[in-house]
Amino acid sequence: MGELPSDLVRVVLSAETIHNRVCEIADQLSEDYADKGGIYIIGILKGAFIFLADLTRQLTVPHVVDFMALSSYGKTDTFSGAVRIIMDLREPIEGRHVLIVEDIVDSGHTLDYLYRTLTGRKPASLRTCVLLEKKRDSLDVPIHYLGFEIKDVWVVGYGLDFADAYRTLPYIAELKRD
């Protein structure tokens, strides 16, 4: 794998570990949605783009990929901010089997907002698929498919960034904080 960039402390999840788990989740999804006639998959930009690309290419059931972008105004390390939609879906989701794909749930506010918003659009079903889960403030938004639980440290790679850097690392690593 070569040397870690100097801003990174250690690899938390290797490319191989991630790949194996992504395949397991894709198998589970392919089984669960086998009789649903297709999944409307929503990737949340930017962080989910690599997870989404790898996951969807392992699926054996029909699916459509769409994207949303959200932003948290005033987001800081300790405050999750107010979530708003900055890019919406191309199509209505009423009556469709919808799966939200997220890279990480930290406080949970983004997913909670999204889940409530999309529920209001009356999909036939709505589930969530999240690669990483951190602490989650006691929000009761469900995570139906989860890759890994991780410690409350800042991680980058495999879609996750620090100031837009490190998103395309093939592994997930802990960032040095000074």
Residues that bind ligand PRP (CB under 6 A): 44-47, 72, 80, 102-110, 161
Measured between alpha carbons, how far is 78 from 12 in angstroms, rounded to an integer?
22
Q: Are the beta carbons of 131 and 145 closer than 8 angstroms?
A: no
Q: Kindly state the smallest distance separating residue 34's Cβ from ligand PRP, in Å.
A: 29
Q: What is the DSSP string of 6-59?
A: TTEEEEEE-HHHHHHHHHHHHHHHHHHTTTTT-EEEEEEETTTHHHHHHHHTT-
Q: Annotated catalytic residue: which of 54, 103, 106, 112?
A: 106
Q: Kindly state the smallest distance separating residue 160's Cβ from ligand PRP, in Å.
A: 7
- Taking the CA atoms of 126, 127, 131 and 132 in sequence, report the sign of the dihedral they define: positive
Comparing every residue's Cβ against ligand PRP, the nearest one is 47
Q: Kindly state the smallest distance separating residue 81's Cβ from ligand PRP, in Å.
A: 8
In the complex with ligand PRP, which residue's Cβ is closer, 73 or 90? Answer: 73
106 as an active site residue: the answer is yes
In the complex with ligand PRP, which residue's Cβ is closer, 36 or 46? Answer: 46
In the complex with ligand PRP, which residue's Cβ is closer, 11 or 45? Answer: 45
Rg (CA), the chain: 16
Measured between alpha carbons, how far is 111 from 136 in angstroms, rounded to an integer?
10
Q: Are the beta carbons of 99 and 44 closer than 8 angstroms?
A: no
Would you tell me how many other CB atoms lie within 10 Å of the CB of residue 143? 19
In the complex with ligand PRP, which residue's Cβ is closer, 122 or 177? Answer: 177
Which residue do the tokens 């999309």 mark?
118
Residue numbers annotated as active site: 106
